[in-house]
Copies of this chain bind each other. A is one copy, B any other.
Amino acid sequence: MDNSEKTTQESGLGTRPWQALREVVNRGSAEQLQQFLDDLPAGEMARAVSRLDDGDQIKLMVRLRPEMAAELVDGVSEAQAVELLELLPVRDVAAILQELESDEQADILSELDESDLEAILAAMDPGKAANARRLAEYLPETAGGLMITELLCYRDDLTVQDVLDDLRQGAEQYSDYDVQYAYVVQGSSVKHDSPTSAGDFGRLVGVLRLRDLVLSSAEKRIADVAIQETLAVHTQSTLDELAAFFDRHHFFGVLVVDAENHLVGVVRRYDVEEALADRADDDHLKLLGIIAGEELRTMPLSSRAGRRLAWLVPNIMLNVIAISVIAYYEATLAQVVALAILLPLISDMGGNAGVQALAVSIREMNLGLLRPHELIWVTLKESSVGLLNGLVLGVLVAAGSWIWQQNLYLGLVVGVAMLLNTLIATTVGGLMPLVLKRMNIDPALASGPILTTITDMTGFFFVLSLATLVLPQLVGSGP
């Protein structure tokens, strides 16, 4: 119970956790190091490790036993785990990887440097390497990519007593397994799975709940105790399909079968929830312009700057396209400088209104409430909001501009431009993710920059073209 009392405050002595960790890494025994990590408050480990310099991170990882290093790798985010492992010699990476669960292995292998991959797999236990290689081939956001292959599998001709005996004998080996369920398959040669023999477990007969095993007489055949009617997903099932499945069914996991309906693994509910959280986080970062994967501030400066420039530089190009509209109306602008002051207001508000609609579309697609072909539905729903909000915003800025410059026509130009631009920005913003999705472009990545370029262009166009129409009424008034 003591752990519940721990705080995440730094110690009153002013020593930061990573300073103490560096001390232990460099001067303490292996046991002291392990003890120190165990004693760190739950929320502190990731930060303490990330703030060590590369040399100390290597020392730390190499001094820990592989099981302990694997626990550490498992306890930090994937980006941080990859950063840590890429520092280490191939042999150490292999030793740590094979202590991880099969889905974690596959995830991390797919993120590691391509060139080290073969060497790492060669240094791993051959069975585990083969399994990891196979799992790494599934797309990450599918049932195949999310499943674990550590599961208990028994032939359908065994009895309840046989299974209980095996569980008793294998208690040590199964300690990391989720043994709430075991799976009954048609008579194959394996009695049960060990992680090294993962692959095709055979045709599924049913699911054996541990609780049913407890409550059944020992001589019964497990095929008769197992639940016969079982739901399963295919290896290619998408994350959205899995999310919908777990929304409907109160299961902790779902079986994964291949094209021949053979059992190949299990996807657990929390792995699906975790993948959804990661995707939301990822979409979010992309929309905010961090395109090249997850940035951590402990990464090298050149890599951090490069990841951000990869979006900033193309964005200059998009901006140049947008401001070319202003350049086209330079003559109008030269005569009514007040317009130059108002241009950023109209374009910025259009971007804001568009991004709101865009966010709703991305979210509704993720929740399964919207399909990419429903362009008319979105157009109807967004144009009504756009019209209403455009009216409100248009009246506000028209009144403001009129009072400021004492020119009714300027107020009308700005107000009508705001109305039209809000209407278009809201509608285009709502449609953009659907259109991109149908073109197989990631909406989170491309929607924002394309949208704001369009809304900037339309905003500039509406203000300046309307102003050009009533130019005589605008010139010569105001300061």
Which A positions have Cβ atoms within 8 angstroms of B?
1, 3-4, 8, 41-47, 50, 71, 74-77, 80, 164, 167-168, 171, 176, 178-180, 204, 210-211, 213-215, 230-234, 237, 240-241, 244-245, 247-248, 250, 252, 257, 261, 268-270, 273-274, 276-277, 280-281, 283-285, 287-290, 294-298, 301, 304-305, 308-309, 311-313, 315-316, 319-320, 322-323, 326-327, 330, 333-334, 337-338, 340-345, 347-349, 352-353, 355-356, 358-360, 363-364, 366-371, 377-378, 381, 384-385, 388-389, 392-393, 396-397, 400, 452, 456, 460, 479
A277-B276, A352-B315 known; A344+B257 contact, CB < 8 A: no
Least distance between A45 CB and chain B CB atoms (Å): 7
Least distance between A18 CB and chain B CB atoms (Å): 11
* Interfacial chain B residues near A315, Cβ < 8 Å: 348-349, 352
Q: What are 29 sample pairs from A and B whose C-beta atoms fall under 8 A apart? A: A1-B230, A3-B232, A4-B233, A41-B244, A45-B244, A46-B244, A77-B367, A80-B367, A80-B369, A164-B215, A167-B211, A179-B211, A268-B270, A276-B277, A277-B277, A280-B281, A285-B359, A298-B369, A301-B388, A308-B385, A313-B392, A315-B352, A319-B344, A323-B344, A334-B337, A343-B344, A344-B347, A344-B460, A348-B452
Rounded to whole angstroms, the CA-CA distance of A290 and B354 in the bound complex is 11
* Interfacial chain B residues near A247, Cβ < 8 Å: 42, 46, 74-76
Rounded to whole angstroms, the CA-CA distance of A210 and B181 in the bound complex is 11
Least distance between A389 CB and chain B CB atoms (Å): 5
A363 and B311 form a contact (CB under 8 A): no
Rounded to whole angstroms, the CA-CA distance of A64 and B115 in the bound complex is 58
Least distance between A298 CB and chain B CB atoms (Å): 8
Interface contacts beyond A75-B247, A309-B392: sample of 14 additional A-B pairs, CB < 8 Å, sorted by A: A43-B240, A46-B368, A47-B368, A71-B248, A210-B214, A214-B214, A284-B284, A287-B288, A296-B360, A305-B385, A311-B356, A326-B344, A340-B340, A343-B343
CB nearest to A332 among chain B residues: B337
Rounded to whole angstroms, the CA-CA distance of A217 and B347 in the bound complex is 75
Determine which residue in A215, A252, A270, A349 has the highest number of CB atoms from chain B within 10 A of its CB, and name it. A270
* Interfacial chain B residues near A359, Cβ < 8 Å: 284-285, 288-290
Rounded to whole angstroms, the CA-CA distance of A360 and B296 in the bound complex is 7
B311 and A352 form a contact (CB under 8 A): yes
A368 and B43 form a contact (CB under 8 A): yes
* Interfacial chain B residues near A392, Cβ < 8 Å: 305, 309, 313
* Interfacial chain B residues near A43, Cβ < 8 Å: 240-241, 244, 368
The 9 closest A-B pairs by CB, nearest first: A273-B273, A340-B340, A277-B277, A280-B280, A270-B270, A43-B244, A42-B244, A288-B359, A284-B284
B369 and A232 form a contact (CB under 8 A): no
* Interfacial chain B residues near A296, Cβ < 8 Å: 360, 364, 369
* Interfacial chain B residues near A313, Cβ < 8 Å: 392-393, 396
B47 and A312 form a contact (CB under 8 A): no
A363 and B285 form a contact (CB under 8 A): yes
Determine which residue in A75, A210, A281, A460 has the highest number of CB atoms from chain B within 10 A of its CB, and name it. A281
Least distance between A302 CB and chain B CB atoms (Å): 8
Rounded to whole angstroms, the CA-CA distance of A312 and B233 in the bound complex is 44
B47 and A214 form a contact (CB under 8 A): no
* Interfacial chain B residues near A257, Cβ < 8 Å: 1, 4
A284-B359, A285-B359 known; A349+B3 contact, CB < 8 A: no
* Interfacial chain B residues near A237, Cβ < 8 Å: 4
CB nearest to A168 among chain B residues: B215
CB nearest to A364 among chain B residues: B297
* Interfacial chain B residues near A352, Cβ < 8 Å: 289, 311-312, 315
* Interfacial chain B residues near A370, Cβ < 8 Å: 47, 297
Determine which residue in A8, A284, A333 has the highest number of CB atoms from chain B within 10 A of its CB, and name it. A284
B231 and A3 form a contact (CB under 8 A): yes
Least distance between A334 CB and chain B CB atoms (Å): 5
CB nearest to A211 among chain B residues: B179
Least distance between A467 CB and chain B CB atoms (Å): 13
* Interfacial chain B residues near A298, Cβ < 8 Å: 369
A320 and B308 form a contact (CB under 8 A): no
CB nearest to A357 among chain B residues: B308
* Interfacial chain B residues near A326, Cβ < 8 Å: 340-341, 344
Rounded to whole angstroms, the CA-CA distance of A340 and B31 in the bound complex is 66
* Interfacial chain B residues near A8, Cβ < 8 Å: 241
Determine which residue in A42, A168, A270, A294 has the highest number of CB atoms from chain B within 10 A of its CB, and name it. A42
